[in-house]
Amino acid sequence: MKEKEEFLREVIKAYANGNDQFLMEHITDDICWEIVGEKNIGGKSEFQEVLDQMKEMPSMEIEVENIIVNNHFGIVEGVVTSRNRLGQKKHFGFCDIYKFVKGSEMIISNIKSYVIDISRHMQYKEKL
């Protein structure tokens, strides 16, 4: 299970650093990524489009708070910090659920992401 936890840390690092190659090598051709309440991304080409859009956004930091894994799933929970177009810091709590291809511990077939803006919570408010 330690290998899967380290793998998911690498996945999160790849998102933060824009390492598309790593991500694309570790997903199925028919990947399904559901960002709950926002959109569904289907297939490698749509996944790549989202990664390209992420590169146009200001850089982000991702703080992982928890990783839980079993034979078929991995859950990553944490906080993403970035800046909006006005330069204000924004904080988003997230929980990503990754489904692994059976028999292959390092290939992802499905991602379900829950994301919420937590910028207004006291510990995340920017100090003036």
Domain count, the chain: 1
- pLDDT surpasses 80 at 104: no
Does residue 27 lie within any of the structural domains?
yes
Residue 109 within any structural domain of the chain = yes
Q: How far apart are the first and last CA of the chain?
A: 43
Report the predicted TM-score, pTM, of the whole model to 2 decimal places: 0.89
Q: Which amino acid is at 67?
A: I
Residue 127, domain member (yes or no) = no
Tokens coding 75 = 């859950």
Res. 126: pLDDT tops 60: no
Per-residue model confidence as pLDDT tens digits over 49-101: 999 988 887 778 999 999 999 989 999 999 999 887 777 888 999 999 999 99
Would you state the pLDDT for residue 125?
61
| pLDDT for the residue 128 | 41
Decide if pLDDT at 10 tops 90: yes
Backbone φ and ψ for 76, nearest 5 degrees, come out as -120, 130
Question: Does residue 128 lie in a domain region?
Answer: no
In a domain? residue 105: yes
Domain that holds residue 17: 2-122
Residue 76 lies inside a defined structural domain of this protein: yes
Q: CATH number of the domain that 18 lies in?
A: 3.10.450.50
